[in-house]
Structure 1
């Protein structure tokens, strides 16, 4: 049998704490060589595109994929999880909310392992969409935040974000009138936009900051200029192979010879302890998030297991074939 979970049912179960734990778990396994992750592939469809990414975690007995079609009619995300030994399709999860939360969780784990120690951080957020909400929520889940500020181009959007996140996290979040005002005094910077031109410039980055850049997951998008990338002493991404074809921030810096791909780390190596996230408090650290399938299958399996325990979801007919039955 296959368990199907709607967006609402996933939302009943999934919390940021669960996602942080699941994402840290899978990145540690990735760093130890226990996870297989395949980069996103895309099929252009004129007014839209089909996107597919997959991953396997043999030690956990799971393999699966995330797929979605985005276009003028909207966007729809699904995660499919299979048993790794031929047990069949274990679950189908609608995954819009899950994508938002697991993307935030990846930045939270990067912050935990790469940001300099601080008891009272100030966070600057550039971008005010739904993804920006889970980014700040995740950082708040791993770090004590004293204050946060947000900047986006539309005053109404940044004011709304500040109000919602102040109430949700019970910390003061203020709207800034410019990027420079937003960055003032920040030791953690979140950039989560759909910009095609850099919004965070190297000249604006102070000593010791940590940057989570989570919006530039396509070659046509830019969030950081090349100086900002070069200024970073430690650069990590969720999957270097995927970053080489998707992360325009890093692609531009590498193509111009300002960085070498060999110096870009997989976040898994940092979480597993193979490489340090930083070696001193003055370093600038950068996490470029692309969003990868191993995050989806790890979080998705946790949600499926809880759903089965609680009797949530709809059981669909079907399953695998017994070995030797072909």
Structure 2
């Protein structure tokens, strides 16, 4: 029998520390040749689109895919989890919250491995739903003394600051000055902008940047100077460089960064390539999102659902 889990049930079964651990582990498995991932494939129609991404990670008992549609009425996300031994469909789950959590977790893992040990301030570009898990994940891996957010409207950034400040138990500042978040130890871009919101010239020595809002080639939240100044540029998967990494496209096409210099985050986690070399290095993680990250979170959800008797059994 297959377990079906609703959005609310998935939300109740997830917590950021556990998702951080799951994402970090599966990225290490990928680097060690113990997991496989395939880049997102898209079907675009005049009024809607279908996106599918799939992967397998036998070390955690996960094989499956995430599929989602985007239309004028919004987006709908589903993950299917199979047993890699028997091929049995273990679960189908609604996975909007799951995707938000794993995206934040990927930035949290990158921050853990690439930011300075003493990094304590965070600047955020974007005040939407995806920005929430970015701040939550980074706060889970670093002791933050200051968080400051910039977005297009004062209303959105103030609402974000109030909500996340209450959740994290700290004051979150807002600013109308676009360059101010860039002056922090850790910088996150998580916007829907198709043109750069972060300029490399604004970054201070030693900064770590998580660019998490672009998964299309025609979208770029950071200018090429961000990547050009970085001593290390990391991605989820090098396979996606020519498919989705819009945040890196300008730097790659102009030679500011060579494709061969781009590393996978999992290789840093596994110790196969060095991460930060010195306190003044600027490091960059360009996040596109992997099916492996979704499946790691989905396996966590499935195991907890079985333990707690959550979900509905269905015979497909």
TM over 0.5: yes
Provide the rounded CA distance (Å) in 2 between the counterparts of 1:170 and 1:63: 38
* Displacement after TM superposition at 1:176 (Å): 0.6
Query: Offset at 1:85?
Result: 2.2
Aligned residue number for residue 71 of structure 1: 71
Pair 1:38-2:38 in alignment: yes
Measure how far apart 1:308 and its partner are: 0.4
Unaligned runs of 5+ in 2: none
Cα distance, 1:62 vs structure 2: 2.2
The CA deviation string for residues 108-151 of structure 1, in whole angstroms up to 9 with x for no partner, is 00000000111x61100000001001000000000000010000
Distance 1:171 1:244 in 2: 40
Q: Which residue of 2 aligns with 1:53?
A: 53
Alignment of 1:86-235 (within 5 A): 86-118=86-118, 121-184=120-183, 186-235=184-233
Question: What's the Cα RMSD here?
Answer: 1.0
Secondary structure of 1:78's aligned partner: strand
1:279 and 1:190 map into 2 onto residues whose CA distance is 21
Once the two structures are TM-superposed, the CA of residue 12 in structure 1 deviates from its matched residue by 1.2
Q: CA deviation at 1:181?
A: 2.5
SS at match of 2:204: coil
- Cα pair 2:236 2:287 within 8 Å, conserved: yes
> Per-residue deviation at 1:249?
1.9
Separation (CA, whole Å) in 1 of partners of 2:11 and 2:300: 13
With structure 1 as the length reference, what TM-score do the two structures score? Answer: 0.95
Between the aligned partners of 1:11 and 1:167, the Cα distance in structure 2 is 19
8 A contact 2:187–2:207 mirrored in 1: yes
Q: Distance in 2 between matches of 1:171 and 1:163?
A: 10
SS of alignment partner, residue 313 of structure 2: strand
Between the aligned partners of 1:255 and 1:271, the Cα distance in structure 2 is: 28
- Structure 1 stretches lacking a partner, 5+ long: 319-326
Give the TM-score taking structure 2 as reference length: 0.98
C-alpha displacement of 1:70: 0.3
Alpha-carbon distance in structure 2 between the residues aligned to 1:221 and 1:148? 25
For the 8 Å contact 1:243–1:290, the answer to whether it is kept is no
- Post-superposition Cα deviations, 1:65-100, rounded to whole Å, max 9, x if no partner, equal 001000102110001011112341000010000110
Q: Is the 8 A contact 2:211 2:247 kept in 1?
A: no
Question: Displacement of 1:238 after TM fit?
Answer: 0.5
Tell me the CA shift for residue 48 of structure 1: 1.8
Give, in whole Å, the separation in 2 of the partners of 1:244 and 1:212.
19
Moved more, 67-76 or 250-259: 250-259
Contact 1:212 1:287 in 2 (8 A): yes
**8 Å contact kept, 1:145–1:171:** no
Partners of 1:176 and 1:85 in 2: how far apart? 52
Instruction: Tell me by how many angstroms 1:18 deviates.
Output: 1.3
What is the aligned counterpart of 2:282 among 281, 284, 296? Answer: 284
Moved over 3 A (4+): none
Partner SS for 1:221: coil
SS in 1 for 2:233: strand
Residue in 2 that maps onto 1:324: none
Q: Which residue of structure 2 lines up, in the alignment, with residue 12 of structure 1?
A: 12
- Within the candidate set 255, 258, 267, 1:257 is matched to 255
> C-alpha separation between the residues in 1 aligned to 2:171 and 2:83?
45
Spell out, residue by residue over 1:193-215, the C-alpha distance to the aligned partner (whole angstroms, 9 max, x if none): 01110110111111000000000
